[in-house]
Chains A and B, each alone.
Chain A
Amino acid sequence: MTDALVLGLGALAVLVFLIAIRIPIAYAMILVGGVGTMMLNGPALVLSQLKTLAYGQFSIYDLSVVPMFVLMGAIASKIGLSQALFRGANAWLGWMRGGTAMAAIAGCAGFGAVCGSSLATASTMGKVALPELRRYNYSGALATGTLAAGGVLGILIPPSVVLIIYAVIVEANIVTMFMAAFLPGILAVVMFLLTIAVYVAIKPASGPKGGVASSTEFVEATVGMIPVLVIFGLVIGGIYFGFFNPTPAAAVGVFLVLFFGLVQRKLSRTDFVAALKETAGTSGMIYLIILGAELLKIFMSRVGLPQETAAWIAGSGLEPMTVLIILLIALIFLGCLMDSLSMILLVIPFFWPVLVEINGGIYQGADGAGFGMSTDDLKIWFGILALIVVELGLITPPVGMNVFVISSLARDTPMIETFKGVVPFFGAEVLRVILLVSFPAITLWLPQVLR
């Protein structure tokens, strides 16, 4: 092993230590990346890079969609879209056994279509749906479990901030990634609905039928979903069909949520200021991690750690599928300890070169490739798989953030009940990952058709 590699491994250990003692992940990466490169090549290089590195990173055009989608989601959660969605979905599904929980899932999916964050989706829909679920005597486990799991749809259904960041790291096309996420997202919704159906079939008392909506109520509730359909259709539809690039599309999204909020008089000044503050906190946090990840990447590729790891695993004789499964399990495990965004930024620069190496290089076509698909397709497929598994950390102990958020809204249900309620949905997610791994076409078909 070379001295550089030893330095790289040592730096990795220090990084883990710093993260473990609550140094913000972004600053831990900045510190280790910066100091590491200084130790390797002397301070002059880093000092001169720092003159423009941060400005360069923050002005990457592809990333400009991130704060806009964050702002769009922040405003969307203040203007009553979630009520309208839930009411509409409940008019359609509420008459069934477990129907109100299904409506909550459908509402989460709809809200996920205008918001790229899991936590925001869980808390916004939770506030709306939990009182209704209680009114219909749903069991605490099913009600809270449904909403904690449903929140994951916020990230899985485009727009998704984590997916944008992934695309920027591996240099994939954001539009293609958004297309690829669509069918797996729909699959998640269908499987969650089926999960509820099975759950209430086994435990009928946990999810009683709601009333049938009157025809006026039905029409009114359905009409109420139109704003979300318009926003999703114009923003994501516009991206899919190539009307505009993601950034202008996100701008349209911000404009539309502001427009609906102001026209329906649902956006107060306090809400607006709160939305701006939320955007500031979230976007600043994301960009700082991006800067840290860049500094770390510069250091790590100088010591050659990702390349060495990739060569080592590729030479180990493991089957490509075995390696993929190991990486996905590692992501699930790490996702239980860390938030998904920092994890994607931290580990994808290590994991992706491994997969490229195994597949046969960056320009590998489908013929003779390790995974039987071109590296470009692998990039898309792995991105979607990674997105799903890192999000599983949101609903598993010890740091299931979605569960925490829902628990804080439903204080009468013990958190352990919520974790129990989440288990069937977790099972559905694992099944979905198996399906997506076995049939890459579910992910890759739509981008091929629309391209």
Chain B
Amino acid sequence: MPDETQQGGSGLAGAASLVITAWALLGGLLLLAVVGVNMVSIIGSIFGKPFPGDFELTEMGVAVAVFAFLPYCQLVGANVSADIFTSGASKRTIAFFTLLGSLVALGFASLLIWRMYFGMLDQKEYDYTTTILQIPHWIAFIPILVSLALLAVAAVVTLLRDASALAKG
């Protein structure tokens, strides 16, 4: 279970935590919107007026929502790890291991920002759109890039937290 008290903190880290949590909640609302689209589609098909494009709205909506969840996962430590092998290790050693984890997350976020930015340009250049509603795919990449930037921020926050735990020993 993520420790809720870890979210707070003062100054910049605290502000970053708030923004990241709010962004995840926005993702949750988007997920609810996808639920709404599916409900409209079901009710529509009962009355013989199916809602075209519910598939692609679901796909796109869920993808964008899930990206919005990633920074929050990093922040509260929701990404599962196997703790059993190191349960006997000292606090310092464990802080070092979680610091490595934060570094990997930071590297991953930076790499994906770089690659998915070019991914977005590709989608734009080739005019990739969804089949029925013709929504350009690159639009989805904008909130996703924001999510990845926040993931990098979250990784920095956890990195600093681990580093100070390591320094204290």
Question: A residues bordering B, Cβ < 8 Å?
Answer: 19-28, 30-31, 47, 50-52, 54-55, 58-61, 63-64, 67-68, 71, 244, 247-248, 251-252, 254-255, 273, 276-277, 279-285, 287-289, 337-339, 341-342, 398-399
**Is B104 located at the chain interface by the 8 A CB criterion?**
yes
- The 8 Å CB contact of B66, one of A71, A284, A399, is A284
B116 and A63 within 8 A (CB) = no
Nearest CB in chain A: distance from B109 CB, A:
11
- Chain A residues within 8 Å of B123, by CB: 52
A284 and B31 within 8 A (CB) = no
Q: Please judge, given known A-B contacts A20-B85, A64-B62, whether A51 and B69 are in contact too, CB under 8 Å.
A: no
A24 and B38 within 8 A (CB) = no
- Chain B residues within 8 Å of A279, by CB: 28, 31, 69
Q: How far is the CA of A21 from the CA of B65 in the complex (A)?
A: 30
Q: Please judge, given known A-B contacts A50-B115, A68-B35, whether A280 and B69 are in contact too, CB under 8 Å.
A: yes
- Chain B residues within 8 Å of A59, by CB: 59-60, 62-63
Q: Which residues from 94 to 127 on chain B have a C-beta closer than 8 Å to any C-beta of chain A?
A: 94, 97-98, 100-101, 104-105, 108, 111-112, 115-116, 118-119, 122-123
Q: Please judge, given known A-B contacts A24-B80, A27-B105, A280-B72, whether A251 and B28 are in contact too, CB under 8 Å.
A: no
Nearest opposing residue in chain A for B29, CB measure: A276
Pairs across A and B, CB under 8 Å, 25 listed = A19-B81, A22-B81, A22-B85, A22-B94, A22-B97, A23-B81, A24-B105, A31-B108, A50-B111, A50-B115, A51-B115, A55-B119, A61-B55, A61-B59, A64-B62, A67-B66, A71-B28, A248-B42, A251-B34, A280-B24, A280-B69, A280-B73, A281-B76, A339-B82, A342-B80
- The 8 Å CB contact of A252, one of B42, B58, B122, is B42
For the complex, count residues of B whose C-beta is within 8 A of A.
63
| Smallest CB-CB A-B distances: 9 pairs | A51-B119, A284-B69, A251-B38, A276-B28, A281-B78, A24-B79, A284-B73, A59-B63, A58-B63
Nearest opposing residue in chain B for A47, CB measure: B115
Q: How far is the CA of A161 from the CA of B72 in the complex (A)?
A: 21
- Chain A residues within 8 Å of B42, by CB: 244, 248, 251-252
Q: How far is the CA of A283 from the CA of B81 in the complex (A)?
A: 15
A23 and B97 within 8 A (CB) = yes
Question: B residues bordering A, Cβ < 8 Å?
Answer: 2, 21, 24-25, 27-29, 31-32, 34-39, 41-42, 54-55, 58-60, 62-63, 65-70, 72-73, 76, 78-87, 94, 97-98, 100-101, 104-105, 108, 111-112, 115-116, 118-119, 122-123, 137, 140-141, 144
B98 and A51 within 8 A (CB) = no
- Chain A residues within 8 Å of B81, by CB: 19, 22-25
A20 and B79 within 8 A (CB) = no
Q: Please judge, given known A-B contacts A20-B85, A247-B38, whether A27 and B101 are in contact too, CB under 8 Å.
A: yes
- Chain B residues within 8 Å of A280, by CB: 24-25, 27-28, 68-69, 72-73
Q: How far is the CA of A251 from the CA of B37 in the complex (A)?
A: 9
A255 and B86 within 8 A (CB) = no
A22 and B70 within 8 A (CB) = no
Interface SS of chain A: helix
A24 and B101 within 8 A (CB) = yes
Nearest opposing residue in chain A for B85, CB measure: A20
Q: How far is the CA of A61 from the CA of B61 in the complex (A)?
A: 11
A251 and B116 within 8 A (CB) = no
Q: How far is the CA of A282 from the CA of B24 in the complex (A)?
A: 12
- Chain A residues within 8 Å of B34, by CB: 64, 68, 251
Q: How far is the CA of A252 from the CA of B37 in the complex (A)?
A: 11
B86 and A20 within 8 A (CB) = yes
Nearest CB in chain A: distance from B147 CB, A:
10
- Chain A residues within 8 Å of B144, by CB: 55
Q: How far is the CA of A289 from the CA of B42 in the complex (A)?
A: 31
B86 and A64 within 8 A (CB) = no
Nearest CB in chain B: distance from A350 CB, A:
18
Nearest CB in chain B: distance from A343 CB, A:
10
Q: How far is the CA of A24 from the CA of B155 in the complex (A)?
A: 13
Q: How far is the CA of A23 from the CA of B101 in the complex (A)?
A: 5
B73 and A288 within 8 A (CB) = yes
Nearest CB in chain A: distance from B42 CB, A:
5
- Chain B residues within 8 Å of A20, by CB: 82, 85-86
- The 8 Å CB contact of B58, one of A27, A247, A254, is A247
Q: How far is the CA of A55 from the CA of B137 in the complex (A)?
A: 10
A22 and B86 within 8 A (CB) = yes
- Chain B residues within 8 Å of A19, by CB: 81-82
B100 and A21 within 8 A (CB) = yes
Given A22-B94, A54-B112, A277-B25, 16 further pairs, Cβ under 8 A: A22-B83, A23-B100, A58-B62, A64-B59, A68-B34, A68-B35, A71-B35, A248-B38, A252-B38, A276-B28, A276-B29, A281-B72, A281-B78, A284-B66, A284-B70, A285-B73
- Chain A residues within 8 Å of B140, by CB: 55
